Amino acid sequence: MKTEERYAGVLGWFRENVPDPRPELHYDSPFHLLIAVILSAQCTDKRVNMHTPEIFRRYPEPRDLAAASFEEVFDLVKSISYPNSKAAHLIAMARMLVSEFGSEVPDDVDKLKKLPGVGRKTANVVASVIYDKPVIAVDTHVFRLSGRLGLSDGKTVEAVEKDLSANIPPEERPKAHHWLILHGRYVCTARKPHCGECGLREWCRDYSAQEGKGRRKDKASEVAG
Protein backbone atom coordinates (compact mmCIF):
# COMPACT_ATOMS: atom_id res chain seq x y z
CA MET A 1 0.00 0.00 0.00
CA LYS A 2 1.32 3.44 -0.92
CA THR A 3 1.87 5.98 1.82
CA GLU A 4 -0.70 8.37 0.41
CA GLU A 5 -3.30 5.59 0.33
CA ARG A 6 -2.56 4.74 3.96
CA TYR A 7 -2.94 8.36 5.04
CA ALA A 8 -6.16 8.74 3.03
CA GLY A 9 -7.65 5.65 4.68
CA VAL A 10 -6.60 6.51 8.22
CA LEU A 11 -7.67 10.15 8.04
CA GLY A 12 -10.93 9.22 6.32
CA TRP A 13 -11.79 6.76 9.09
CA PHE A 14 -11.09 9.33 11.78
CA ARG A 15 -13.14 12.00 10.00
CA GLU A 16 -16.14 9.70 9.86
CA ASN A 17 -15.86 8.08 13.27
CA VAL A 18 -14.23 10.76 15.48
CA PRO A 19 -15.32 14.04 13.91
CA ASP A 20 -14.72 16.22 16.96
CA PRO A 21 -11.85 14.92 19.13
CA ARG A 22 -11.24 16.78 22.36
CA PRO A 23 -8.26 17.02 24.70
CA GLU A 24 -8.75 15.14 27.95
CA LEU A 25 -6.87 17.66 30.07
CA HIS A 26 -9.26 20.02 31.85
CA TYR A 27 -8.70 23.77 31.54
CA ASP A 28 -10.63 27.02 31.47
CA SER A 29 -8.13 29.44 29.94
CA PRO A 30 -4.98 29.38 27.79
CA PHE A 31 -2.87 29.94 30.92
CA HIS A 32 -4.46 26.99 32.70
CA LEU A 33 -4.04 24.73 29.67
CA LEU A 34 -0.36 25.63 29.65
CA ILE A 35 -0.11 24.65 33.33
CA ALA A 36 -1.93 21.36 32.69
CA VAL A 37 0.22 20.39 29.72
CA ILE A 38 3.45 21.12 31.61
CA LEU A 39 2.21 18.92 34.45
CA SER A 40 1.16 16.13 32.08
CA ALA A 41 4.73 15.32 30.99
CA GLN A 42 5.44 11.72 32.05
CA CYS A 43 2.10 11.70 33.87
CA THR A 44 -1.46 10.70 33.00
CA ASP A 45 -4.10 13.28 32.16
CA LYS A 46 -6.36 11.65 34.75
CA ARG A 47 -3.92 12.33 37.57
CA VAL A 48 -3.26 15.87 36.40
CA ASN A 49 -7.00 16.56 36.28
CA MET A 50 -7.27 15.48 39.92
CA HIS A 51 -4.97 18.30 41.01
CA THR A 52 -5.55 21.18 38.62
CA PRO A 53 -8.88 22.43 40.07
CA GLU A 54 -7.12 23.61 43.23
CA ILE A 55 -4.15 24.93 41.25
CA PHE A 56 -6.49 26.90 38.98
CA ARG A 57 -8.42 28.23 41.99
CA ARG A 58 -5.28 29.51 43.71
CA TYR A 59 -3.61 30.86 40.57
CA PRO A 60 -6.23 32.23 38.18
CA GLU A 61 -3.74 34.54 36.44
CA PRO A 62 0.00 34.42 35.69
CA ARG A 63 0.73 37.16 38.23
CA ASP A 64 -0.76 34.98 41.00
CA LEU A 65 1.48 32.02 40.18
CA ALA A 66 4.48 34.30 39.63
CA ALA A 67 4.15 35.50 43.23
CA ALA A 68 3.85 31.99 44.70
CA SER A 69 6.59 30.32 46.69
CA PHE A 70 8.18 27.06 45.62
CA GLU A 71 6.85 25.35 48.74
CA GLU A 72 3.27 26.41 47.98
CA VAL A 73 3.35 25.09 44.42
CA PHE A 74 5.27 21.94 45.34
CA ASP A 75 2.60 21.05 47.89
CA LEU A 76 -0.01 21.13 45.11
CA VAL A 77 1.96 19.00 42.64
CA LYS A 78 3.88 16.66 44.95
CA SER A 79 1.92 13.56 43.86
CA ILE A 80 2.55 14.30 40.16
CA SER A 81 5.70 12.99 38.49
CA TYR A 82 8.84 15.14 38.86
CA PRO A 83 7.25 17.59 41.31
CA ASN A 84 10.45 19.49 42.11
CA SER A 85 11.23 20.47 38.54
CA LYS A 86 7.58 21.04 37.61
CA ALA A 87 6.97 23.34 40.57
CA ALA A 88 10.03 25.36 39.66
CA HIS A 89 9.09 25.46 35.99
CA LEU A 90 5.53 26.60 36.68
CA ILE A 91 6.69 29.56 38.77
CA ALA A 92 9.40 30.54 36.29
CA MET A 93 6.96 30.17 33.39
CA ALA A 94 4.44 32.47 35.06
CA ARG A 95 7.12 35.06 35.83
CA MET A 96 8.26 35.10 32.20
CA LEU A 97 4.67 35.44 31.00
CA VAL A 98 4.31 38.50 33.22
CA SER A 99 7.67 40.07 32.42
CA GLU A 100 8.01 39.33 28.70
CA PHE A 101 4.55 38.57 27.31
CA GLY A 102 2.20 40.90 29.16
CA SER A 103 0.66 37.97 31.05
CA GLU A 104 -0.66 36.55 27.76
CA VAL A 105 0.12 33.04 26.51
CA PRO A 106 1.85 33.56 23.14
CA ASP A 107 0.39 31.97 20.03
CA ASP A 108 3.76 31.32 18.38
CA VAL A 109 5.50 27.96 18.91
CA ASP A 110 8.99 29.46 19.08
CA LYS A 111 7.89 32.02 21.67
CA LEU A 112 6.14 29.33 23.70
CA LYS A 113 9.33 27.26 23.71
CA LYS A 114 11.14 30.11 25.47
CA LEU A 115 9.00 29.51 28.55
CA PRO A 116 10.52 27.32 31.29
CA GLY A 117 9.17 23.78 31.21
CA VAL A 118 7.86 24.14 27.66
CA GLY A 119 9.35 21.88 25.01
CA ARG A 120 8.23 21.45 21.43
CA LYS A 121 5.44 18.99 22.29
CA THR A 122 3.94 21.27 24.93
CA ALA A 123 4.25 24.29 22.65
CA ASN A 124 2.53 22.46 19.80
CA VAL A 125 -0.32 21.29 22.04
CA VAL A 126 -1.02 24.80 23.31
CA ALA A 127 -0.66 26.40 19.88
CA SER A 128 -2.98 23.89 18.23
CA VAL A 129 -5.63 23.63 20.95
CA ILE A 130 -5.89 27.31 21.86
CA TYR A 131 -4.93 29.03 18.63
CA ASP A 132 -5.75 26.31 16.07
CA LYS A 133 -2.24 26.52 14.65
CA PRO A 134 -1.43 23.89 11.95
CA VAL A 135 1.05 21.96 14.08
CA ILE A 136 1.13 18.40 15.41
CA ALA A 137 2.38 17.50 18.87
CA VAL A 138 4.17 14.14 18.86
CA ASP A 139 4.05 12.38 22.22
CA THR A 140 4.69 8.70 22.98
CA HIS A 141 1.25 7.65 21.69
CA VAL A 142 1.52 9.58 18.44
CA PHE A 143 5.08 8.34 17.92
CA ARG A 144 4.05 4.71 18.50
CA LEU A 145 0.97 4.82 16.26
CA SER A 146 2.80 6.56 13.44
CA GLY A 147 5.25 3.67 13.28
CA ARG A 148 2.71 0.89 13.69
CA LEU A 149 0.30 2.28 11.13
CA GLY A 150 3.09 3.02 8.66
CA LEU A 151 2.58 6.78 8.66
CA SER A 152 6.23 7.41 9.47
CA ASP A 153 9.49 5.51 9.82
CA GLY A 154 11.08 8.43 11.64
CA LYS A 155 13.38 7.52 14.52
CA THR A 156 12.99 10.84 16.32
CA VAL A 157 10.05 12.97 17.40
CA GLU A 158 11.12 15.68 14.97
CA ALA A 159 11.27 13.25 12.04
CA VAL A 160 7.80 11.86 12.79
CA GLU A 161 6.37 15.36 13.15
CA LYS A 162 7.87 16.26 9.77
CA ASP A 163 6.32 13.21 8.07
CA LEU A 164 2.90 13.79 9.62
CA SER A 165 2.94 17.48 8.71
CA ALA A 166 3.89 16.66 5.13
CA ASN A 167 0.95 14.30 4.69
CA ILE A 168 -1.85 15.80 6.80
CA PRO A 169 -3.65 18.93 5.58
CA PRO A 170 -2.84 22.00 7.71
CA GLU A 171 -6.45 22.47 8.78
CA GLU A 172 -6.59 18.91 10.15
CA ARG A 173 -3.28 18.84 12.03
CA PRO A 174 -4.77 20.07 15.34
CA LYS A 175 -7.38 17.29 15.17
CA ALA A 176 -4.85 14.69 14.02
CA HIS A 177 -2.90 14.98 17.26
CA HIS A 178 -6.01 14.14 19.26
CA TRP A 179 -7.08 11.41 16.85
CA LEU A 180 -3.79 9.60 17.24
CA ILE A 181 -3.26 10.17 20.95
CA LEU A 182 -6.76 8.99 21.90
CA HIS A 183 -6.52 5.95 19.61
CA GLY A 184 -3.17 5.10 21.16
CA ARG A 185 -4.49 5.59 24.68
CA TYR A 186 -7.56 3.38 24.33
CA VAL A 187 -7.20 1.08 21.30
CA CYS A 188 -3.64 0.76 19.98
CA THR A 189 -2.14 0.52 23.44
CA ALA A 190 1.58 0.04 24.00
CA ARG A 191 1.73 -3.43 25.50
CA LYS A 192 -1.28 -5.13 23.96
CA PRO A 193 -3.04 -3.35 21.09
CA HIS A 194 -6.73 -4.18 20.69
CA CYS A 195 -6.52 -5.01 17.00
CA GLY A 196 -9.85 -6.86 17.02
CA GLU A 197 -11.75 -3.67 17.77
CA CYS A 198 -9.59 -1.30 15.71
CA GLY A 199 -11.22 0.38 12.74
CA LEU A 200 -7.83 1.13 11.19
CA ARG A 201 -6.84 -2.50 10.51
CA GLU A 202 -7.34 -2.12 6.77
CA TRP A 203 -4.60 0.51 6.57
CA CYS A 204 -2.33 -0.63 9.41
CA ARG A 205 1.09 -1.82 8.31
CA ASP A 206 1.77 -3.79 11.49
CA TYR A 207 -1.59 -5.56 11.33
CA SER A 208 -1.03 -6.48 7.68
CA ALA A 209 2.40 -7.85 8.56
CA GLN A 210 0.98 -9.97 11.37
CA GLU A 211 -1.79 -11.25 9.11
CA GLY A 212 0.80 -12.15 6.50
CA LYS A 213 2.80 -14.12 9.05
CA GLY A 214 -0.33 -15.95 10.12
CA ARG A 215 -1.22 -16.91 6.54
CA ARG A 216 2.31 -18.14 5.87
CA LYS A 217 2.24 -20.18 9.08
CA ASP A 218 -1.09 -21.75 8.13
CA LYS A 219 0.17 -22.58 4.65
CA ALA A 220 3.32 -24.16 6.08
CA SER A 221 1.19 -26.28 8.40
CA GLU A 222 -0.92 -27.48 5.47
CA VAL A 223 2.15 -28.45 3.50
CA ALA A 224 3.66 -30.26 6.47
CA GLY A 225 0.38 -32.08 7.06
Q: Which of 121, 133, 163, 175 is catalytic?
A: 121
Least confidently predicted of 10-24, 32-46, 116-130, 200-214? 200-214
Which pairs with CB-CB distance under 8 Å and at least 24 residues apart come from 191-196? 193/148
- The whole-number pLDDT of residue 98 equals 98
Q: What is the pLDDT of residue 25?
A: 96
Give the integer Cα–Cα distance in Å for 14 and 169.
14
* Res 211: pLDDT: 78
pLDDT at 89 over 50: yes
- Active-site residue identified among 45, 139, 163, 175: 139
Q: Which of 4, 47, 46, 17 is nearest to 183 (CA)?
A: 17
CA dist., res. 122 & res. 110, Å (int):
11
Mean pLDDT (whole number) for 121-136: 95
What is the C-alpha separation between 83 and 211, in angstroms, rounded? Answer: 44
pLDDT tens readout for residues 64-80:
999 999 999 999 999 99
Its pTM stands at 0.88
Catalytic, 121? Answer: yes
Q: Please state, for a pLDDT cut of 90, what percent of the chain lies above it.
A: 92
Q: Is 20 an active-site residue? A: no
Instruction: Reply yes or no on whether the pLDDT at 221 is more than 80.
Output: no
